[in-house]
Amino acid sequence: MKDDIVYLVLLGLCIGFGHFYRKFKDPEEKKLLGTCLGILVMVSVSGLHTVHMLFCYLVASLIIVYANRKTCHLVTFGFMFGYLFLFRSVTYLGFDAPPGHTNMIQMILTLKLVGLAFEVNAAYTKSLGDGAAKKDDDTKTIAEPLSENEKALLKLDLQNVFHYCFNYVGILTGPYFTYKTYRDALYLPFSSKADCIGATVEKLKVIPLYAGLFLLISYVWPLNYATSAEFYEERSFFYRLMYVWPTFFIFRMRIYTGILLSECVCTMAGFGAYPKLCGNKSGHGPSKDCSAMIGNPDEHEYDFETVRNIDVINTERCWTFREAMRYWNTCVQYWMAMYVYKRFPSKKYRTLATLAVSAIWHGVYAGYYFCICAAPFYLPIEDLYVKLFIKNATGTKLKVLNVICWISKFFAFSYMGIAFLLLTIEKIWFYYNSVYHFGYIFWIVLYGVGVLIAKDRKAKAKRAEKLAAAAATGAEVACQ
């Protein structure tokens, strides 16, 4: 709770500071001011552990600025994730573990520096004409001109990388935003024209609800009870199995509160503000060219979809596990999709590689791997039953099946999520043993039954086709 209080105070400070930060018109002043507060926040929660982040910045920025730009993104990726693993393993070497908030800062810094290296590599590749657009006759190529942001990426220096890494916006828990988004917030007029206060207030309205539910349910069903002797010796199998529901509910409320507060830091500072007509996407930013709108910024309606990291309503009310995943931690999902999934050389293993990187990014505990890497084994089961029963259902039947699917979705999240919360393999295995690995066994049986139903339907369809063909042939003979 002490860590949570420090976290809330710092986020409150950052949110309030955004109102004054937006009033500075000079980009250089904003850079300096934002970085100074960012360093203050980092040092206040990390103390001497700040040296980890400064060392990572120094090495990674030297790679990005001075190394071969054809490979700088790969070298930066290897260094940052290697150091992240080492950073979390210092306790095994006899050193004190870094504070929890320091870990979060290191996580976001890893995404920023690796993402920046990929942005630089993309700009460099484009400058060589590798991504040139071909003419209709396929005889010549026309190099697509570099944007101002791409030109800036090719002229990066250590100072600009430092400002991007340590600006107070997003330094604690994100959301992740690209160097382009950071630069646009400084140099484009959009942040001063968007309704930053209104967007922030809209998010702040619901935070007391999530925080209140977090505190209430934590008091009634605390997570640490799931590790107590009483829980395993005096509680029934059914009670132990159902305990995953309140624990995951607590986790969701905590995540909703934290992510929405971190989004408020962005919205109050004007980060991620773009005209709605730009077709803005979480993490990515505008999907359409906004250059024509810079000259008349007062004439447009704005949104903050670029820094929207979670869609709480759709996460809760969507029917399927697959849908819910799309609304959760979307800026990090964008990073994983752009820099791991789409770049991984093997299409066959790219999903597994992406999930493995996600688990490594979250931490070294076994619980992260149990939870995150279990998702791709559940998804085919859900997809199979959606295809068998829900896809063609209508009316009341569809509503009933959707509710069942919704219950199954949250049970799956909760059952996998308990591993994420218990962290160590001993605690995880002890809990799953106490419920006889019900979830995994149930899903295996469910998948087997689904496959049999699918095969039976396919066989019946083939028999029906043969009978129809035989009937048609008989009718033709009778007519002759």
| Residues known to be catalytic | 329, 362
C-alpha to C-alpha distance for 262 and 273, rounded to whole angstroms? 15
Amino acid (one-letter) located at 134: K
The string of DSSP letters for 34-71 reads: HHHHHHHHHHHHHGGGHHHHHHHHHHHHHHHHHS-TTT
Give residue for tokens 């569809």.
398
Task: Give the orientation angle of helix 438-479 with respect to helix 395-422, to 10 degrees.
Answer: 150
DSSP 169-197: TTTTT-----HHHHHHHHHSTHHHHS-HH
Strands 133-134 and 141-142, sheet pairing: antiparallel
Cβ-contact 280, 227 below 8 angstroms: no
Token pair of 108 as six digits: 């976001």
Secondary structure (3-state) at 408: helix
Pull the structure tokens for residue 203: 């998010």
User: Checking phi first, is residue 436 left (phi over 0); if not, alpha (psi -120 to 50) or beta?
Assistant: left
- Placement of tokens 């430092």 in the chain: 162
Torsion, Cα 180 182 186 188, to 10 degrees, reads 40
Distances in Å between the Cα of 464 and the Cα atoms of 21, 32, 222, 458, 470 are 71, 74, 56, 10, 10
C-beta pairs of 155-158 under 8 Å, 24+ apart in sequence: 156/64, 156/65, 156/116, 156/120, 157/65, 158/61, 158/62, 158/65
Contacts of 184 (CB under 8 A, 6+ apart): 149, 190, 274, 285
Identity at 214, one-letter amino acid code:
F
From the list 154, 159, 153, 158, the residue with the least C-alpha distance to 32 is: 159
Which candidate, 383, 375, 385, places its Cα nearest to that of 449? 385
DSSP codes joined into one string, 295-309: S-GGG--EE-GGG--
Count of all residues that appear for the chain in the document: 480
